[in-house]
Amino acid sequence: MQLSFDLFNDELVTLNLSNNHLQLEPWELTLNEFLSMSEWKAFPDPEAKGEYKNNYVMQKPDGKKWPSGWIGKFRSEEQAKKTFHQEQIYYKLLWNADVQDRVLADYPKLLDVKRSIDSFMNRVHIGTGDYIRIELPERNEFFNPIDFPMFSRTSQRGFVKHYNLYNSTDVTAYTLFSPSEIACIALSKQLNKYGFSEQYRPNMINYHFNYIFKSSNRVPVRYQIPIDFDSEGNATSYESYEGITTYSFAYGEPIVEYQIDEETTTHLLLPSQVIAYQKNVDHWIDICEADFE
């Protein structure tokens, strides 16, 4: 039987590696555990030639090579395994995975990232209404979950910028992850936690919305913006507008141009806001939220 010992929060933590350690992924092991496992091997690729010599590959316990290919050039196997382990944890956090604190204890800055994500998740409140409330230091922000692009990080960044969320996260981990990235990760994890990725079709793959508003510019549209909410996330009042769409590469979503006091202004159009669009002259097609789910 093989035991691994680590100190975390001034307590001795042991992990029995005798049964399931060969099935654990690198981000499920502490650095000491990963380094002590001879089944994970890092070595220079014997097939690399010329300038590509000394590029290391990682071999898994089942004897297969890590699928992403070369992991970099290193002076030793230990250095290769240390770098590989840290990078795997970094990318797991970046793409919404849960990593245990005992594993992150070897990387204080990454532990700060996780705590910042957890802190932002605690700001997201899901009630019985159609809108989700985000509790920010100086205000509450509400959004409809069908508007959140669950599977597109690029669109998520535009969404976070639109709602001005990226300056509202806890400033502890910005040296590794931007405030915008922390907000994107936290929102994705919280909505997944409550099953919204299964209940709603995110607008990145919403073909109806994409076909109408993303495949062509200058589409006349009527839409409404909720301005007041109750504590459960129900919209209690709206403002209605009419404008013409134009595509925004910055947001990955259509922008509406509309007139206020004879001045042209713009608004990011989201699926839950659409009331109707004009297909032909004098022919408006009414749609409801269900059309975009």
Model confidence pLDDT, tens digit, residues 9-53: 555 445 555 557 788 999 999 999 999 999 999 999 999 999 999
Select from 264, 265, 258, 268 the least CA-distant residue to 220.
258
Place of tokens 């001005």: 164
Q: Which pLDDT does position 239 carry in this prediction?
A: 94
Which residues are within 8 A (CB) of 236 and not within 5 positions of it... i.e. 6 or more apart?
228, 229, 230
Listed residue (123, 125, 128, 124) closest to 234, CA to CA: 128
- Residue-wise pLDDT for 96-137, tens only, equals 999 999 999 999 999 999 999 999 999 999 999 999 999 988
Domain ranges of the chain: 3-106, 205-292
Please list, in sequence order, all residues whose beta carbon lies within 8 angstroms of the beta carbon of residue 12, skipping any fewer than 6 positions away. 5, 6
What long-range pairs does 54-57 form, CB within 8 A, spacing at least 24? 56/80
Digit-coded pLDDT (tens) for 155-183: 888 889 888 887 655 555 566 898 899 99
Across the chain, mean pLDDT equals 84
Find tokens 């806890």 and name the residue.
Answer: 170
Whether the full predicted model's pTM is greater than 0.85, yes or no, is no
